[in-house]
Amino acid sequence: MLRELESVVFGHIFFCFIDYSWDFEDEELQYGWLRTGIYDYLDRLDSQYKQGKFTKSDVKDALVNAFKQDDYTWWWLNSYKHSDVQAWEDQKQPNEGMQVVAACAWLEHFDIIGINDEPNWELEELYILKYYHPEFLKLFVKKFVWDVMFPNEVLPNYTEPKSGDVRSLDYPFDIDFCDLVAS
């Protein structure tokens, strides 16, 4: 499990992105657009925002430790008030958690959707509400936080998935993938 400071660091990082709404009809939203959230965060760290509550080194330690943890920790990171119940049954609503940006980044990263494609709301909703998995959040954190804050550094204990096929992910509950295959 994450230490208290690491949990606070993640809360501050996620806050950079939660206010961003993902609107596929907005031409200015492109894959790199979300990086502006972490750039703002870096500016705050550099200016000792929050009275130096934590440093870039604290952020790095939190990220490295998080990627040593099991999937339960990643479910927990997006659970409502970090509940101790089965976190996958207690995920935040999409407008309160990281599912939307993490799932959309997953879909784009694996070319399941493209920013210039016509919106496929049914598919996006499936990935946000039904197929959400902490692997989405891990990939998101790697691409939009680690790669921006620590460019050219290897993130220990993480290998990017080779495929966006959610059927290969380990879910702690049963999912009927018929609607995915039919799409």
Q: What are the pLDDT digits (tens) for 107-153? A: 888 988 876 677 777 888 888 888 889 999 999 999 888 988 898 99
68-99 pLDDT, tens digit each: 999 888 888 877 665 555 555 666 666 667 88
DSSP secondary structure letter of residue 71: H
Which is more confidently placed, 22 or 2? Answer: 2
CB 53 within 8 A of CB 9: no
- Asked if pLDDT for residue 33 goes beyond 60, the answer is no
96-110 pLDDT, tens digit each: 678 878 888 898 889
pLDDT band at 38 (very low <50, low <70, confident <90, very high): low
pTM for the full predicted model: 0.81
Please give the pLDDT value at position 164: 94
DSSP secondary structure letter of residue 174: -
- Asked if pLDDT for residue 7 goes beyond 60, the answer is yes
Alpha helices in 19-146 (DSSP H): 35-46, 49-52, 56-66, 71-77, 99-109, 121-125, 134-141
- Asked if pLDDT for residue 57 goes beyond 90, the answer is no
Please give the pLDDT value at position 169: 93
- Sorted by sequence, the CB contacts under 8 Å of residue 84 that are 6+ apart come out as none
C-alpha to C-alpha distance for 181 and 129, rounded to whole angstroms: 17
Please give the pLDDT value at position 39: 65
9-31 pLDDT, tens digit each: 888 777 766 655 444 444 444 43
Greatest Cα pair distance, the chain, in angstroms, is 53
